[in-house]
Chain A
């Protein structure tokens, strides 16, 4: 079975802190994605990557950056966390043209 794991299920940070969210997939997928999920807004794409060291902005990249140094790992970085970044963050991966597999999510609270 494809497995997408995220480093934390719950995270609490302070405003202004630098935050790293980690995602690892074990199926050698080319593509990896970061979404945030908010009530009433559904899921929105933050960034995606189609290869190591490659990244593309999604619909809402402001305030975020990403890193993909290895094929299996895709990190989302909040350089200076703000309260409006409190959300559920979901990572996904896939082979080109195939279904996306999602991780369990990280619920981030910024105080």
Chain B
């Protein structure tokens, strides 16, 4: 079956540090890949996505590249801010839009001033 593995937190960084959150997946076929973010007390919001190999998703300074050869979709940001503190979820969808998402366990990111 499908699965997503992401680094477990909490990950604590200083403001303006470089961020990488690793994500690898197992899936049949050619899944679509997503990063969602959950701010305290809120639901999940889509941060970025990629639907085929070598696609790069980007939003709000975050980037992730769909690497089929390494089955990875690592999240990166060059300079984090305190406002980036949240829980980040890597997810995949292997079917059509009616299929649910398979999520990783989430990575709690804490940015200190």
* Set of chain B residues within 8 Å of A98, measured between Cβ atoms: 97
B41, B46, B96, B106: the one contacting A100 at CB < 8 Å is B46
Chain B minimum-CB-distance residue to A100 = B101
Whole-angstrom distance from the CB of A13 to the nearest CB of chain B?
A: 21
Q: Which of A94, A95, A102 has the most CB of B within 10 A?
A: A102
CB–CB B100/A96 < 8 A: no
CB–CB B106/A42 < 8 A: yes
CB–CB B103/A96 < 8 A: no
CB–CB B97/A42 < 8 A: no
Interface of B: prevailing SS: loop
Selected interface stretch from A14-22, A29-37, A62-70, A72-80: A29-37
B41, B89, B98, B105: the one contacting A96 at CB < 8 Å is B98
B42 at the interface (CB under 8 A from A): yes
CB–CB B43/A99 < 8 A: no
CB–CB B43/A104 < 8 A: yes
0 or 1 for each of B75-107: is its CB under 8 Å from A? (1 = yes)? 000000000000001010000111111111110
User: Cα distance A60–B43 when bound, in Å?
Assistant: 20
Leading 7 A-B pairs by shortest Cβ distance: A96-B97, A45-B100, A97-B97, A102-B43, A50-B98, A42-B105, A43-B103
Q: A48-B99, A96-B96, A102-B43 are in contact. List 10 more A-B contacts (CB 8 A).
A: A30-B98, A40-B8, A42-B106, A43-B101, A90-B43, A94-B97, A95-B97, A104-B41, A104-B42, A105-B43
19 sampled A-B residue pairs with Cβ under 8 A: A4-B43, A31-B97, A33-B100, A33-B101, A35-B103, A40-B105, A41-B105, A42-B4, A42-B105, A48-B99, A50-B98, A58-B100, A90-B44, A96-B97, A96-B98, A97-B96, A97-B97, A99-B34, A99-B49
